[in-house]
Structures are given as structure tokens and as C-alpha cells.
């Protein structure tokens, strides 16, 4: 895992405003600060597929770039 | 007769937050004429309110009834829930001002947000207007409910810039033209301007308001300032840092132009537990500086739904389910029909066969689900079939072409103990119902009933008087609706009579009452006896009347 | 009442590209690294926007990482 760029450190499921399940991804940035990135169902599923994850816990350790790729692929 | 209507013997909760008291309410010429002891037989019509609360009609400040109001002047089922005033035109979208040539573009945006069937725009009304005054005349023909309409930033932009509204920043001349147009709308009865930082059209492209530089919003806010009217926005509510940035922008506009601003929605979520506390801390800081930046919070919890027609994050902690459901449909069907795979999927749920995770899922209806199963829980269905819930979910889906939607109720914004400090906060505006939007995804009706059943009766977190004030007097003050929101002699007689022991929302059900037999999810009302709009009984005894006494009330 | 410190942001100028914005917001940093940092701090813009990469005049673009 590279430490000079933002990395996914966890993910949780949440209820979204539009009535679907959302993916709340926790991202750790260089320096240690963290924030939550909320992905809609389509992007969340695409992120799991792109990371080869079949469980949300398997997203930890992947680069922030996978989120961007997932979003652009939807 | 001294009065047109007398509402007699009720417990008056006047919308100010003051203690309730027993009194009669006399109505004359559409206005509240007297509150006190009124002589027997003084009313041409008497409404018995013994054992009931008599309150100002509720005000719903965040709706998308723009289209529905053209064929349904009661904004059903809003009125039967005690709502006597709705604010449509939120989130940058209204049906005026709009040139005929731009209609189809805006229809696409409305279909994206409201999920209204296309027939609603082609068969349900005569689209004869372009300007805001024309839209006002069109809805005023048969209103049963009052309307305080916002004008949408996106359509103002579209009128002035045409297709470029969704492509670029505006020039100084274009911004000046938008100000002139906004001024016309405000003079024609718009309660304010709405803008959006998140909405997209049917192609996924950002709506026109999102192409505006801050300078454009600043100029439009200056025009709002001439009238002291509202700026509403939908921020990136899913991200706390961005929402705080928007609070700061709105506060700057509020302070500079002397306008009220409001943003919605605000949600509590276990996944982002610091969201609401951080937002409220910033709101309090900005109010302390003199800004008016009202967060709108909905009362109802969030339900989510899914079917096996497409992958869903609902299963994101069940790897085998994820792998099966992410396959193309034919391969997915093959896997689900494979006994060995199915057995393993059920086994993944553990010893209870999915009872804990899936047993409370509800079959929604509005799809291929058998009618007799609508509203039943998967646990009930599984028990009747003699199956584990996980197996029942798979088989029921397979039996109906996978087109069976399951509802997981109250999965977000649902923890009343966590949520409650926020609506009780005097700086929080209760709203964000989204009435008339998302119609084929979930019901957006009955939040007022839920306020009383959950936060007053069940949790005791708000007093009856506080809850009524939150959705009447306080709302009217925030929006500058001087004639509404309180029971006071001289004000408009918008009145709801309800049973404080039973007022609530009913279960969500599919209804096929949209133009072209379009489907939407609705919730009926419980505990509402009588609703008066401008002094006329618009709803009583479980039925709508012929009264058409609603007005554009700005 | 003083406002507490929050995460700093800017908004894109008319027709400004992410490269131009990154140069403006993070002067002195190599361009590619600056663009990467801006993107990683602003996935609400750079993950899923249609068309991809479109910057809007109303966007909140953070110019520093989260404070938390």
C-alpha cells in the first residue's frame, strides 16, 4: 500500500436519500486526515467490481483512484 | 349567521408554541373571526372538535407538486394529512417561466427528479403559459390547497440563455436579464428562488443552475433582497465539508442581501455520525453572526428498496450473493435456479436462514409481485411457504421474473434518540418532505403525522405545542407567510382538526392514480378529522369536498 | 462571533480546467501532483460527473485535505 496518496481504509453501507443503499467509503489522506466519501449504489457497486471485492471490507487498502475510475465507468 | 363555520369545543394549539387551551374558533369570510366561547348555533356550519386538537393548517416547505397541481388542486394526499400550504418549485426547477421551445428539456429534468410519467405532461393539462403569472393562473383555476411557489434558478437561466444555460457561465448582460425575469416572478407571486448544486437531468448532465458562478447567485440574491424573499438550495448533503461550505455561501448571501435562506435535506446516519452535529454547529455560528440559514430536516426515516433484477449494495456483506447478482441477467437467473448455488446462498445467511437480515423486508407492490403478498413481510411469506426467508426471497423473485421489490424500512435517519435533538433545536426547520417527487421510488407523504406519532406521542421528545409550532407558525415566519401559520383573529382560516392520540401516517402502498395509469407510492392519513382552507371545509370525514378555496398565498 | 476554521475551498472560474485550477490553488507544486491532490480531495466532482472532468462554476473545490 502506497502511503503518499489517499487510500481507502474502510467502507460502510448507508440508506440513501433516493431510497437505495449507498456506500460510505472512508479515505485516509497523506498526513493521516480522513474523510467519508458517499457513493451512490451504481458507483458503489462499480467500485466493488473494480477492486475485485465481493464484500465491502475488501475495499480497504485500495487507492482513491479506483473510486474515480468507478465513477467514470458508470 | 355570525360565522360561516364554528369549530367547537376543541383543544386550541395556536401555532405559537404557547400552551393549548379549550375554545371555539369562529370563521367568517375566509378568516379567523374569533377564538373563545362562541354562542351555540352561531355558525352556518358547526364542526365538533371535542376531544380533538384544533391547529393551524400545516405548511410543507419542500415539495415538487408543480405538475400535479395542474390536475389535482389538493396535491393529494397532502391535504388529507392536514397540510394546507405547499411550497413547490424546489431544487431549481419550476414550470415557469418557461418558453414553449424549452418545455421538453425541463420535462426531462422533472421526470428525473419527480419520476412523473410522460403522460402527465401531454394529457393531463393544457400547457398554455410561458411566464410565471400564467402558471399561477393555470393552477389557481381549481386549487383546494394553498401554494407558495418558488421559481427555479434552472428555468430562469434557460429562459435567458437557452441551451447555453447547461453549458457555460452567464455574461453580465445575461445575469441582468435573469434579475429582471426573477423580479417579474416575485411580483407575480413567487415566494423565492430555488437553486441546486446536485441535481442532474435525465441524461446525467448537471441542471442549468449548477453552471452558475457565485457572482450570478449573488446578483439574483440581490433581487431577492428587494423583496426580502427566500433562497432555497439543495447542497451536496451527503458530504459534511461541502454542506458547511454551502452554509457559508448562503450565510454570505443572507447577510449581504438581508434574505432568508434554507437548505435541504439534512439527515442523520450511523455511517456519518458527525454530520448533523457539525452542520448544526456551523449553522449556530452563522445565526450568531446574524445570517438566516435554515437547515431543513425531514421527520421520516429513510427506507431503501431493491429487487434481484439488478445488483444491490444491500447484499454487499454476502460475497456469494454479490458474485451471483453482479452477473448479466441470464447468468444470474441460471445461478439462482441452480439448486446447489441456491443452497449455498441460503447457507451463507447462517442458522436463521436470513430471518434477522431479511425477515422484516416488506413486499412493496407496484411491480410483478402477487397482489396478496403486498405489504407482507418476507418472514411471514417464508413461514407460510415453509421456507427460510433467504430462500423465499430467491424463489419469490424467480417466480415473478425477478421483478419483485423488497423494502427495508427505517434503515437511515431512523434512530429517534439520535435524530431528536435536531428537530427540537429552534434553528432547525422541519420540512424536506419532497412531496410529489420520487413518486415511483417511495412515498413522500405523511411526515407531519409521523412527527406527532414518533416524536410527540411515542418518544415524548417534543410537546404537542412545540410540534405544531414547528410545522405552522415557525414555518410561516421563516418563509414570510404573514397570513398563515397561526390561529389568531384576522389571519386566514387554514385549520386542521386532528386526534392527538391517533394522528399518524398509514402504511406505504402503490397507487395507480397518475395520468396514464402511472404508479406512485402513497401513504394515507390517520387521525385527521377536518381540514379548512381559507375558511372552507376542504376535507372532512375521510373525504375531499368540492371546496376550491386554495390560493397562491404570497 | 468568530467562525471556526473549516476546510478551505475555491470555485472554478469560467471555462477553467482542472490543470489551471490546480496551478492556481497549489502554486509551486509540480502540475501532475497538484492535479492528483485536487482530484483526491474532490471526488464529489471527479468521480462520476457527466461528462467526466467537467468543472462547474458552482462547484466547491477543496484546496486542502480534510481537517479531521
Give the residue numbers spanning the domain of C19.
Answer: 9-62
Residue A54 with chain B: CB contacts under 8 Å: 319-320, 322-323
> Does residue C67 form part of some domain?
no
Work out the minimum CA distance from A29 to partner chain C, whole angstroms: 7
Residue C44 with chain A: CB contacts under 8 Å: 37
A43/C48 touch (CB, cutoff 8 Å), yes or no:
yes
Residue with cell 454476502: B318
Q: Is the dihedral of CA B70, B75, B79, B85 positive or negative?
A: negative
Neighbour subunits, A (≥3 Cβ pairs < 8 A): B, C
Residue B431 with chain A: CB contacts under 8 Å: none
| Closest residue in chain A to residue B443, using alpha carbons only | A19
Angle at the Cα of B306 from the Cα atoms of B302 and B307, rounded to 5 degrees? 160
CA dihedral B476, B132, B222, C54 (to 10 degrees): 110
Are B327 and B339 in contact by the 8 Å Cβ rule? The answer is: no
Average pLDDT of chain A to the nearest whole number: 93
pLDDT, position A74: 80
Residues B189, B185: Cα–Cα separation, whole Å: 6
A19/B265 touch (CB, cutoff 8 Å), yes or no:
no
Over residues B463-479, mean pLDDT: 98
Average pLDDT of chain B to the nearest whole number: 96
C1/B239 touch (CB, cutoff 8 Å), yes or no:
no
3-state secondary structure of A25: strand
Residue C46 with chain A: CB contacts under 8 Å: 68, 71
Q: Is the dihedral of CA B204, B207, B208, B211 positive or negative?
A: negative
| Closest residue in chain B to residue C14, using alpha carbons only | B169
> Does residue C18 form part of some domain?
yes
> Does residue C47 form part of some domain?
yes
> Does residue C1 form part of some domain?
no
Residue A34 with chain C: CB contacts under 8 Å: 66, 68
Q: Is the pLDDT of residue A1 over 50?
A: no
A33/C68 touch (CB, cutoff 8 Å), yes or no:
yes
Select from B168, B197, B241 the Cβ nearest to the Cβ of C58. Answer: B197
pLDDT, position A4: 85
Kindly state whether C11 is in contact with chain B, defined as any CB-CB distance less than 8 angstroms.
yes
> Does residue C44 form part of some domain?
yes
Residue B196 with chain A: CB contacts under 8 Å: none
Residues B106, B90: Cα–Cα separation, whole Å: 14
Kindly state whether C6 is in contact with chain B, defined as any CB-CB distance less than 8 angstroms.
yes
Kindly list the structural domains of chain B, giving each domain's residue range(s) and its CATH number in brackets, ordered by start.
58-301+413-483+511-524 (3.20.20.140), 304-410 (no CATH)
3-state secondary structure of B36: strand
Q: Is the pLDDT of residue B58 over 70?
A: yes
Residue C48 with chain A: CB contacts under 8 Å: 39-40, 43, 70-72, 74
B213/C11 touch (CB, cutoff 8 Å), yes or no:
yes
Residues B433, B481: Cα–Cα separation, whole Å: 19
Residues 6+ apart with CB under 8 A from B188: B131, B132, B133, B136
φ, ψ for residue B54, nearest 5 deg? -115, 115
pLDDT, position A2: 46
Helices (H), B102-171: 103-114, 119-122, 132-140, 153-161
| Closest residue in chain C to residue B169, using alpha carbons only | C14
- Low-confidence stretches of chain C (pLDDT < 50) are none
C1/B200 touch (CB, cutoff 8 Å), yes or no:
no
Kindly state whether A36 is in contact with chain C, defined as any CB-CB distance less than 8 angstroms.
no
Helices (H), B162-274: 172-187, 214-227, 240-257
Express each pLDDT in B150-205 by its tens digit.
999 999 999 999 999 999 999 999 999 999 999 999 999 999 999 999 999 999 99
A19/B412 touch (CB, cutoff 8 Å), yes or no:
no
| Closest residue in chain A to residue C44, using alpha carbons only | A37
A15/B237 touch (CB, cutoff 8 Å), yes or no:
no
pLDDT, position B422: 80
C39/A72 touch (CB, cutoff 8 Å), yes or no:
no
Task: Write the burial class of residue C10 (CB in 10 Å: 0-12 exposed, 13-18 middle, 19+ buried).
Answer: middle
- How many folded domains does chain C comprise? 1
Residue B216 with chain C: CB contacts under 8 Å: 57
Residue A49 with chain B: CB contacts under 8 Å: 326
Q: Which ipTM did the prediction report?
A: 0.98
Q: Which of A30, A31, A35 to probe by mutation at the C interface, max C CB count within 10 Å?
A: A35
Over residues B535-539, mean pLDDT: 98
* Chains B, C: CB pairs < 8 Å: 63
Residue C44 with chain B: CB contacts under 8 Å: 236, 239, 242
Work out the minimum CA distance from C37 to partner chain B, whole angstroms: 17
Q: Where are the beta strands (DSSP E) in B253-379?
A: 261-266, 293-297, 302-306, 362-363
Express each pLDDT in A11-40 by its tens digit.
999 999 889 999 999 999 999 999 999 999
φ, ψ for residue B132, nearest 5 deg? -65, -40
> Does residue C17 form part of some domain?
yes
Express each pLDDT in B445-465 by its tens digit.
999 999 999 999 998 999 999
pLDDT, position A3: 64
DSSP B200: B
Work out the minimum CA distance from A33 to partner chain B, whole angstroms: 13
C46/A68 touch (CB, cutoff 8 Å), yes or no:
yes
pLDDT, position B420: 79
CA nearest to B537, candidates B25, B13, B86: B25
CA nearest to B155, candidates B222, B89, B204: B89
Residues B312, A22: Cα–Cα separation, whole Å: 9
pLDDT, position B214: 98
Select from C14, C54, C60 the Cβ nearest to the Cβ of B242. Answer: C60
Over residues B14-30, mean pLDDT: 98
Residues 6+ apart with CB under 8 A from C27: none
Select from A40, A64, A70 the Cβ nearest to the Cβ of C40. Answer: A64
C36/A5 touch (CB, cutoff 8 Å), yes or no:
yes
What's the residue count for chain B? 554
Q: What percent of chain B has pLDDT over 70?
A: 100
> Does residue C48 form part of some domain?
yes
Express each pLDDT in B396-428 by its tens digit.
999 999 999 999 998 899 888 888 778 889 999
Here the contacts of B473-478 (C-beta below 8 Å, separation 24 or greater) are B473/B14, B473/B15, B473/B16, B473/B17, B473/B56, B474/B17, B474/B429, B475/B59, B475/B61, B475/B429, B475/B430, B475/B431, B476/B15, B476/B59, B478/B61, B478/B230, B478/B260, B478/B262, B478/B292, B478/B294, B478/B429
> Does residue C2 form part of some domain?
no
Express each pLDDT in B373-386 by its tens digit.
999 999 999 999 99
Over residues B213-241, mean pLDDT: 97
| Closest residue in chain B to residue A22, using alpha carbons only | B313
Q: Is the pLDDT of residue B304 over 60?
A: yes
pLDDT, position C2: 82
Over residues B274-303, mean pLDDT: 95
Are B302 and C16 in contact by the 8 Å Cβ rule? The answer is: no
Residues B220, B153: Cα–Cα separation, whole Å: 9
Over residues B248-259, mean pLDDT: 98
Greatest C-alpha distance within chain B: 79
Q: Which of B303, B316, B345 to probe by mutation at the A interface, max A CB count within 10 Å?
A: B316
Reported confidence tier of residue B253, pLDDT bands at 50, 70, 90? very high
Amino acid at each position: 500500500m502506497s502511503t503518499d496518496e489517499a487510500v481507502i481504509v474502510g467502507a460502510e453501507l448507508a440508506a440513501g436519500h433516493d431510497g437505495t443503499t449507498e456506500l460510505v467509503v472512508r479515505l485516509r489522506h497523506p498526513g493521516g486526515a480522513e474523510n467519508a466519501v458517499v457513493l451512490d449504489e451504481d458507483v458503489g457497486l462499480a467500485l466493488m467490481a473494480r477492486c475485485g471485492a465481493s464484500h465491502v471490507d475488501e475495499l480497504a487498502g485500495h487507492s482513491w483512484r479506483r473510486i474515480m475510475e468507478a465513477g467514470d465507468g458508470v | 349567521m355570525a360565522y360561516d363555520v364554528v369549530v367547537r369545543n376543541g383543544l386550541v394549539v395556536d401555532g405559537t408554541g404557547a400552551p393549548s387551551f379549550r375554545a371555539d374558533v369562529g370563521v367568517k369570510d375566509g378568516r379567523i373571526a374569533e377564538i373563545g366561547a362562541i354562542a351555540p348555533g352561531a355558525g352556518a356550519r358547526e364542526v365538533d372538535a371535542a376531544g380533538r386538537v384544533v391547529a393551524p393548517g400545516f405548511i410543507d416547505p419542500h415539495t415538487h407538486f408543480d405538475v400535479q397541481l395542474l390536475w389535482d388542486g389538493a396535491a393529494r394526499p397532502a391535504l388529507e394529512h392536514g397540510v394546507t400550504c405547499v411550497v413547490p418549485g424546489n431544487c431549481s426547477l419550476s414550470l415557469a417561466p418557461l418558453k414553449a421551445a424549452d418545455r421538453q428539456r425541463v420535462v426531462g429534468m422533472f421526470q428525473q427528479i419527480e419520476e412523473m410519467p410522460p403522460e402527465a405532461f401531454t394529457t393531463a393539462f393544457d400547457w398554455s403559459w410561458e411566464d410565471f403569472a400564467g402558471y399561477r393562473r393555470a393552477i389557481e383555476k381549481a386549487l383546494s390547497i394553498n401554494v407558495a411557489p418558488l421559481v427555479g434558478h434552472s428555468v430562469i437561466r434557460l429562459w435567458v440563455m437557452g441551451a447555453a444555460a447547461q453549458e457555460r457561465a452567464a455574461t453580465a448582460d445575461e445575469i441582468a436579464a435573469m434579475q429582471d425575469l426573477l423580479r417579474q416572478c416575485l411580483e407575480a407571486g413567487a415566494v423565492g428562488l430555488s437553486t441546486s448544486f446536485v441535481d442532474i437531468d435525465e441524461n446525467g448532465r448537471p441542471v442549468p443552475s449548477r453552471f452558475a458562478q457565485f457572482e450570478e447567485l449573488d446578483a439574483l440574491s440581490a433581487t431577492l433582497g428587494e423583496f426580502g424573499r427566500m433562497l432555497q438550495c439543495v447542497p451536496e448533503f451527503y458530504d459534511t465539508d461541502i454542506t458547511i461550505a454551502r452554509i457559508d455561501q448562503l450565510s454570505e448571501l443572507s447577510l449581504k442581501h438581508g434574505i432568508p435562506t434554507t437548505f435541504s435535506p439534512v439527515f442523520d446516519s450511523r455511517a456519518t455520525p458527525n454530520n448533523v452535529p457539525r452542520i448544526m454547529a456551523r449553522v449556530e455560528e452563522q445565526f450568531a453572526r446574524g445570517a438566516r440559514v435554515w437547515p431543513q430536516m425531514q421527520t421520516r426515516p429513510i427506507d431503501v428498496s431493491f429487487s434481484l433484477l439488478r445488483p444491490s449494495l444491500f447484499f454487499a456483506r454476502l460475497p456469494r450473493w454479490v458474485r451471483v447478482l453482479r452477473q448479466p441477467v441470464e447468468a444470474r437467473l441460471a445461478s439462482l435456479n441452480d439448486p446447489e448455488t441456491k443452497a449455498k446462498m441460503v447457507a451463507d445467511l447462517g442458522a436463521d436462514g436470513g430471518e434477522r437480515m431479511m425477515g422484516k423486508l416488506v413486499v412493496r407492490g407496484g411491480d410483478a409481485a402477487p397482489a396478496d403478498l403486498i405489504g407482507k413481510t418476507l418472514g411471514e411469506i417464508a413461514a407460510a411457504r415453509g421456507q427460510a426467508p433467504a430462500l423465499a426471497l430467491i424463489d419469490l423473485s424467480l417466480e415473478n421474473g425477478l421483478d419483485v421489490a423488497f423494502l427495508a424500512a427505517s434503515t437511515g435517519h431512523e434512530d429517534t434518540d439520535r435524530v431528536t435533538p435536531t428537530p427540537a433545536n429552534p434553528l432547525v426547520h422541519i420540512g424536506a418532505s419532497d412531496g410529489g417527487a420520487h413518486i415511483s421510488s417511495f412515498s413522500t407523504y405523511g411526515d407531519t403525522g409521523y412527527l406527532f406519532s414518533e416524536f410527540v406521542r411515542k418518544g415524548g421528545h417534543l410537546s404537542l405545542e412545540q410540534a405544531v409550532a414547528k410545522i405552522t407558525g415557525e414555518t410561516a415566519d421563516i418563509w414570510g407567510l404573514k397570513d398563515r401559520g397561526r390561529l389568531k383573529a384576522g389571519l386566514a382560516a387554514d385549520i386542521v382538526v386532528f386526534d392527538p392520540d391517533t394522528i399518524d401516517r398509514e402504511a406505504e402502498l402503490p397507487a395507480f392514480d397518475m395520468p396514464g395509469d402511472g404508479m406512485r407510492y402513497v401513504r394515507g392519513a390517520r387521525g385527521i378529522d377536518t381540514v379548512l382552507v381559507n375558511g372552507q371545509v376542504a376535507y372532512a370525514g375521510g373525504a375531499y369536498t368540492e371546496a376550491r378555496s386554495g390560493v397562491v398565498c404570497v | 462571533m468568530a467562525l471556526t476554521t473549516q476546510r478551505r475551498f475555491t470555485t472554478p472560474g469560467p471555462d477553467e480546467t482542472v490543470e489551471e485550477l490546480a496551478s492556481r490553488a497549489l502554486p509551486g507544486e509540480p502540475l501532475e501532483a497538484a492535479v492528483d491532490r485536487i482530484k483526491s480531495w474532490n471526488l464529489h466532482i471527479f468521480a462520476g460527473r457527466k461528462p467526466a472532468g467537467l468543472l462547474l462554476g458552482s462547484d466547491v473545490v477543496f484546496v486542502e485535505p480534510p481537517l479531521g
